Structure 1
Amino acid sequence: MTSVFERALGDDFGRLHPRLQRRFGVDGERDQGCVGTGVMDRVWRGPAFTVPFLHVGTLRHILFPETGNDIPFSIENYAYRDTFGRPTLTFVRTFQVRPHRRRRFDATMVYDPAREVLVDYLGTTQHLAVDLDVTALPDGSLRIRSGAQAFRGGVGCPSLIRGDAEVRESWDERAERFRIRVTVSHRRFGPLFGYHGSFAARYVEAGSPVPAAVRPLRETSVAP
């Protein structure tokens, strides 16, 4: 099973740094998963008016209102076939925002061969589908930008409430760690939410069970 990122990038997959090729090449055959643990140097949010929207995001494991520095972080990427038979890769990010409070940011990524695009299904019930533009940059890092978005019922997401995301991930040779930077912004209201930091990764042997906790509660085939 070819990884969803290799499908999306095609020949450009080979332009990624070798460490990123393995990390984003998780396909269930070579590696069942990649589990990263580290620290986000900073987790931030936009102005006060964003707080109610971020609180709503906590109900579906998407966004959250807490901020801070040196936040313990983990990311779980597991490859499997979903109930529609599609190769899928989980992106479950956990932030220890308080000593007794964790927040999650859940997503599952599926490659749509008919449209030749990677689709990011957000939340525990995949209630928002987002097309992704993925690019291997000249320095070997990976850039992901969000595109068209649609709710679970197939209704397009209005621009008034739409957030646009950009993710950059790279390999730091000196620190021997992955570095990640995520920014979610609104075309009118500016930056809404984001984080940046670094993590180390270990790989899960092919054939290992995929934890039920990283799978969504419901799946959908709706795409933008």
Structure 2
Amino acid sequence: MNPLFQRAMGADFARLHPQMRRRFSAGLDSDEALIGRGVMDRVWHGGRFVRPFLALGAARNILLPRQGRNIPFTIVNMPYTDAAGREALTFVRTFAFPDGPRRFDAAMVHSPRRGCLVDYLGTHQHLACDLHVEADGAGGAVIRSDRLRLREGPLDVAVPDLVAGDAVVHERYDPDADRFRVSVRVTNRRFGPLFGYEGSFAAEYRPAGGGPLPARLRPRRQESRV
């Protein structure tokens, strides 16, 4: 079966740089995981009014309530079979701030019905959003979020625009540096910029192993609704 990103992008997947295609091919069939290590040149957030919102999300590894420059960074893309029997891929990002590490966790699955990726956020996956991926015409990719939902027990509701964030991710491969360059920006439709980061990382590929997801990467709760 094709990798998650290829299923979501269709023919557009072929327009990516070969290193981007490999980066987005981590999966069960390839038996390949990606570990990226690098530096975020800048991590930022909006004004004071967003800090309580960011702190609340940070309690479940969703948002970053810190700012800084030249922050060491790691990302782990590990494929696994989730509790619903679907192929999933971790996006566990760790930012080593001077006062201690902060994580931003997510896991992605593919929705055949909507033809996009679904991104489950945080340690408990109570928030989920659709992700739409397209090639940028220069070998890189643009990922845009949509349809943020809150799922808790029987509750399944759209998050109001007043508190929701829209994410735009730009990622490309830099052949001169042999690194991936990434820029993430999350904004609120009413209040403007919430947080973001930009920097680069080098990728190392390892066998995924096909076993259970390591405990340090495993969400505490897994959501099956897409």
Q: TM-score range, shorter-chain basis?
A: over 0.9
Task: State the Cα distance separating 1:215 from its structure 2 match.
Answer: 1.9
Q: Distance in 2 between matches of 1:23 and 1:205?
A: 14
| 1:121 match | 120
The Cα offsets for residues 6-40 of structure 1, whole Å up to 9 and x where unpaired, read as 11011111111100100101112324310000000
**Identity fraction in percent:** 53
| 2:189 match | 187
Task: State the Cα distance separating 1:208 from its structure 2 match.
Answer: 5.6
| 1:146 match | 145
Task: State the Cα distance separating 1:137 from its structure 2 match.
Answer: 1.3
Secondary structure of the 2:66 match is coil
| 1:38 match | 38
Aligned counterparts, 1:1-224, within 5 A: 1-98=1-98, 100-152=99-151, 153-207=155-209, 209=211, 210-223=213-226
AA aligned to 1:109 is: M
Task: State the Cα distance separating 1:206 from its structure 2 match.
Answer: 4.0
Q: Distance in 2 between matches of 1:81 and 1:32?
A: 14
Q: Distance in 2 between matches of 1:80 and 1:27?
A: 8
Task: State the Cα distance separating 1:113 from its structure 2 match.
Answer: 1.0
Q: Distance in 2 between matches of 1:71 and 1:58?
A: 17
AA aligned to 1:217 is: R
Secondary structure of the 1:154 match is strand
The answer to which of 166-175 and 23-32 deviates more is 23-32
Q: Distance in 2 between matches of 1:140 and 1:106?
A: 26
Contact (CA 8 Å) 2:36, 2:201: kept in 1 or not?
yes
Q: TM-score, normalised by structure 1?
A: 0.96
Q: Distance in 2 between matches of 1:197 and 1:88?
A: 25
The number of equivalent residue pairs is 222
The unaligned stretches of length 5 or more in structure 2 are none
Secondary structure of the 1:85 match is coil
Contact (CA 8 Å) 2:78, 2:208: kept in 1 or not?
no
Q: Distance in 2 between matches of 1:47 and 1:206?
A: 40
Contact (CA 8 Å) 1:110, 1:119: kept in 2 or not?
yes
Q: Distance in 1 between matches of 2:33 and 2:210?
A: 9
The answer to which of 194-203 and 206-215 deviates more is 206-215
Contact (CA 8 Å) 2:39, 2:73: kept in 1 or not?
yes
The answer to which of 21-30 and 161-170 deviates more is 21-30
Contact (CA 8 Å) 1:81, 1:88: kept in 2 or not?
yes
AA aligned to 2:218 is: R
